[in-house]
């Protein structure tokens, strides 16, 4: 049975007041097999000089934030100014399968295009099959794999680098 997409889903920019909800989503989403760095306390700050509200888009329905995505310049060099990277995408477990991730990716692609980007990249853990399917459905392709790049909960895990062009919609077979 396929879940119905949310009709009233709104994608909006984050503000300083959203810090707590972003941290709560992180805590609801990440597990010992997905934490690539130690998890901070539930009240730890999200925003700092490198992580600003302007980098985040939030997915909201009925006044409740269900997910977020963070978009940044991949490398701070002029020769790489045409590339953006998604460095964080989280959707509450109870909102999965409702189109929240797809809507966030569509909005992140549009925001990257509006900022002058031609390419968008991201990294995902190799065993995160649902996320990899989401990215592939939205036009991302595997660019490379870093084998056993992380040691998580006593297991070595691959880091998968994915990317897509922003010159048009995803390839027809990706949707």
SS3 106: helix
pLDDT tens series, the chain, 175 aa: 445 555 699 999 999 999 999 999 988 887 666 665 556 677 788 999 999 999 999 999 999 999 999 999 989 899 999 999 999 999 999 999 999 999 999 999 999 999 999 999 999 999 999 999 999 999 999 999 999 999 988 899 999 999 999 986 554 444 4
* pTM score of the predicted model: 0.88
Contacts of 33 (CB under 8 A, 6+ apart): 125, 127, 152, 153, 155, 157
Alpha-carbon 18 to chain mean position: 16
Q: What domains can you pick out in the chain, each with its CATH number?
A: 10-174 (3.40.630.30)
How far apart (Å, rounded) are the C-alpha atoms in residues 90 and 80?
26
How far apart (Å, rounded) are the C-alpha atoms in residues 10 and 79?
34
Element (H, E) at 93: none
Query: Residue holding tokens 């691959």?
Result: 158
Q: Which tokens sit at 169?
A: 């919609």
SS3 25: helix
């Amino acid at each position: 049975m396929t879940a119905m997409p949310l009709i009233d889903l709104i994608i909006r920019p984050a503000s300083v007041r959203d810090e707590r909800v972003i941290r709560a989503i992180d805590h609801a989403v990440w597990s010992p097999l997905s934490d690539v760095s130690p998890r901070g306390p539930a009240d730890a700050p999200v925003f700092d000089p490198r992580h600003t509200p302007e980098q985040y888009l939030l997915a909201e329905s009925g006044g409740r934030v269900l997910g977020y995505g963070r978009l940044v310049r991949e490398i701070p060099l002029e020769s790489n100014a045409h590339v953006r990277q998604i460095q964080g995408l989280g959707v509450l477990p109870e909102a999965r399968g409702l189109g929240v991730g797809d809507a966030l990716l569509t909005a992140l692609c549009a925001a990257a295009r509006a900022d002058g980007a031609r390419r968008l990249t991201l990294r995902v853990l190799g065993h995160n099959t649902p996320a990899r399917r989401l990215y592939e459905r939205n036009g991302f392709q595997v660019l490379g794999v870093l084998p056993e790049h992380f040691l998580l909960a006593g297991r070595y895990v691959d880091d998968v680098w994915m990317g897509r062009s922003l010159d048009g919609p995803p390839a027809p077979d990706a949707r």
